[in-house]
Chain A
């Protein structure tokens, strides 16, 4: 690797990866949707069949037409059938055309039975109702669920299964038995089986069938089987009630496991945000010993760089929007890095060895930067958009994972790895560590220590800048953005141990996970207070953090 301190080369080749990952993880269904879209039978065919309602003089004729519609298997007929059941499907006497009518008074609006567009109006006297009776209504209800369950679009079938699952109805079991036998898609088939099981439990079928159904629901798991199982557990049949109770216990146990998993994920997600915010500080504070209170403002500069890049892209090249973050990354690194370089050369280098004064001076810089941004961009939040590959979410079991959080976790780890490589494998990193460990010796070996200091500080600030790019995706981009992170970042670095990148990683993740585990019990604010108090106490016990540097460098 060259002696370049710029670790942003890698994320640049990223844009096609997210798409693949989404496809992979959200499974076949999304793929199906994306490629084919909704599928319809030939519309004219359906129209011809619906027109036959006009000639239906007897109830048996109407039934025959309904059966014919069902045999077409076109979900576009569902509305017309529902309207028929409500008595709003009418025939125009003059030409025998069939319409859905809308509105209560004359003249009635006529809607096309398939497209549902208004095609004209007519007086009530010009129309005659297609007569139905209760047995036909039942038939229609079955036909509608049969149609949706047999819809060509797997997505609609899935939805239908879910509707039945949430409102189980014993009468649908027969239809379900039919579609389960026909269904090709295993995912949808499974959903049908589960919907059937829910329906079985609300029916008066045999206890054995119910116990089988309970087993199926138990295997499905999830929060929404609980009410169904709870109803079953009050059943008169002891065996069914017993089976339901066992199933409830098992489902709840798994739910607890998942919620713990969810907490861990939230914790890792929070930890990765902390890591991003703190990792630049781990360089400036941890390696150089400079208290940079303007660190948060370096993050803010990165976020505003993203905003400017996106504005520019919106105005001049909207097609590049999905690449805006990739473009913003190197720019943010340069902007914040340059700000850091100027700060080091202009102020901090005069204050080495006086850490408390450094703290005050950098705090002053942070105030100036905040006000400068406020003056230029205004005090309100700025809109930074998510590129398409960063929006959305997916589920693994009961885990809900939002894509942008996932990317931030990945991104923070990548940044961490690159930084580690820069420190351990490059010439610049070697010089940096040499200066940290023994400045006079490094100097005698011909290392230009002032410039190593300057570039180390610029590196730390630049990393804060690219953290800003990531944080702009999940936080409000306002002049106060940095303020929210500065205390947390210091906590992470101090907790993890100064001068040790691994400490920062472990510190950030530990604090993140601990915070999210406390939250359900204590609430968000109290959880944070606990964490702060814990760190204050922890520092008493281990004043140099989790991974303290050993040896002489400690005292310097």
Chain B
């Protein structure tokens, strides 16, 4: 069965994408580490860090696409899963600081000493172990998604109502994490990381390794998603998106189908967050902001929802635009982003990928039309 899963997952397109990502994972850090700075193919460290960040975003967008593009659940709270994964990683990194903090306390992170706490809160136990932290990266977002989804899908909360309560969820978490009493560093979040697995997070080699891990993680997530959507289950998922009631009447347990996709998606988002934190060096409650989660939606929409390559392209393209705009014309970034939202929904319902593939389709039909010498109505394929 697993072979079958893999076989279907690795169809021709998916192999190419996964291979391309693996090549990026290998070549970028190598070029950064080995090529001299003057070499035209040398990738500077800051560019590598930036692209690494984009890849994390791409993974988050991919996770969202799995539920939105394939299952029709528009989650406006995916940033919450991302941030929770990030916090789990951040907690591990905090424990690794040890006595090198400002207060030099071997167990308590600085902010707890500052708050005059005497003991480590119970939910920080175990985070000094990497394997445990990684487990939590998957487990915490997954559990939240499971509990939330279990209630929401069972009560048949769907459409915009679901979107609004996912937004409320991330908003509530935002407020909660801002509180110092929560024990996650309050407003400042977790930062000043030193080591990951014994290697300094600042070192060039570690950065290269983190970049490679991110690219490989994205490739893995892509293969998993590809396997899911190409399986029988994936077909049902799409049918839930297109005709939920009908699917239910046929006899599928729609809520279970949705729940599975939601939990997997949340876990992927959590991993993305965990890879994000050591690369940017900080995690704070701002990541829970509802606006962040909505931005993820636009990455997915711009790239093309309902395709797996789309969100990756979208996340990278939009964030590249953001980096460029906020540096060159800081005033105009929000105009550009706002316009992007409007333009994408009005003119590009299938995103960049949809545009390209419909362009290809049109080309092909035109050629066929030439061959058969028959005129087709232009734009037939582009229409819904």
Contact = CB atoms under 8 A, between A and B. Distances in A.
Contact of B167 (A350, A372, A487, A533): A487
Interface in B284-318: 290-291, 294, 297-298, 301
Interface stretch (A153-161, A162-170, A327-335, A362-370): A362-370
B147 to A, nearest CB: 11
Contacts of A539: 152, 155, 157, 161, 165
Given A365-B338, A535-B168, A540 B178 contact: no
Interface in A359-402: 359-361, 363-372, 374-375
Contacts of A291: 160, 163
A477 to B, nearest CB: 19
- SS of A interface (majority): helix
Interface stretch (B6-14, B36-44, B169-177, B229-237): B169-177
A532 interface: yes
B155 A540 contact: yes
Interface stretch (B96-104, B341-349, B357-365): B341-349
21 contacts: A293-B294, A350-B346, A354-B345, A358-B345, A361-B342, A363-B294, A366-B338, A367-B338, A367-B341, A368-B335, A368-B338, A374-B334, A375-B331, A491-B168, A532-B168, A532-B169, A532-B171, A532-B172, A539-B152, A540-B157, A543-B155
Nearest to A541: B155
B156 interface: yes
Q: Residue among A356, A357, A375 with the most chain B CB within 10 A?
A: A356
Contacts of A367: 334-335, 337-338, 341
A360 B340 CA distance: 10
Contacts of B290: 487
Nearest to B154: A540
B339 interface: yes
Contacts of A537: 151
Given A540-B152, A540-B155, A364 B338 contact: yes
A528 interface: yes
Interface in A508-539: 525-526, 528-529, 532-533, 535-537, 539
A278 B349 CA distance: 30
Given A359-B74, A540-B152, A364 B168 contact: no
A320 interface: no
Q: Residue among A360, A372, A483, A541 with the most chain B CB within 10 A?
A: A360
Interface of B: 74, 148, 151-152, 154-157, 159-161, 163-165, 167-169, 171-172, 175-176, 178-179, 290-291, 294, 297-298, 301, 331-332, 334-335, 337-342, 344-346, 349
Interface of A: 291, 293, 347, 350-351, 354-361, 363-372, 374-375, 483, 487, 490-491, 494, 525-526, 528-529, 532-533, 535-537, 539-541, 543
Nearest to A375: B331
A370 to B, nearest CB: 6
The 4 A-B pairs at the shortest CB distance, nearest first, are namely A364-B341, A368-B338, A367-B338, A371-B334
Contacts of A359: 74, 160, 163
Nearest to A531: B172
A480 B165 CA distance: 22
Contacts of B298: 360, 364
A347 B163 CA distance: 21
A543 B154 CA distance: 11
A357 B172 contact: no
Nearest to B178: A525
A525 B165 CA distance: 18
A536 B169 contact: yes
Given A356-B160, A529-B172, A536-B165, A365 B155 contact: no
Contacts of B161: 494, 539, 543
B228 to A, nearest CB: 21
Given A375-B331, A536-B165, A360 B301 contact: yes
Contacts of A366: 338
A143 to B, nearest CB: 55
Contacts of B176: 525-526, 529
Contacts of A490: 164, 167-168
A20 B142 CA distance: 61
Contacts of A360: 294, 297-298, 301, 341, 344-345
A364 B342 contact: yes
Q: Residue among B152, B167, B337, B341 with the most chain A CB within 10 A?
A: B341
Contacts of B349: 357
Contacts of B167: 487, 490
Contact of A529 (B155, B175, B332): B175
B67 to A, nearest CB: 12
Given A360-B301, A364-B342, 17 more contacts: A291-B163, A293-B294, A347-B342, A356-B159, A357-B349, A360-B294, A368-B335, A368-B342, A369-B338, A371-B332, A371-B338, A491-B168, A525-B175, A529-B175, A532-B168, A532-B169, A535-B168
A485 to B, nearest CB: 12
A372 B155 CA distance: 41
Contact of B171 (A347, A371, A487): A487
Contacts of B152: 539-540
A531 to B, nearest CB: 9
A361 B345 CA distance: 6
A361 B341 contact: yes
Contacts of B346: 347, 350-351, 361
A361 B341 CA distance: 5
Contact of A370 (B294, B334, B340): B334
A543 B158 CA distance: 9
Given A360-B301, A540-B152, A540-B155, A371 B331 contact: yes
B311 to A, nearest CB: 14
A425 B172 CA distance: 40
Nearest to B168: A532
Contacts of B294: 293, 360, 363
Q: Residue among B179, B339, B346 with the most chain A CB within 10 A?
A: B346
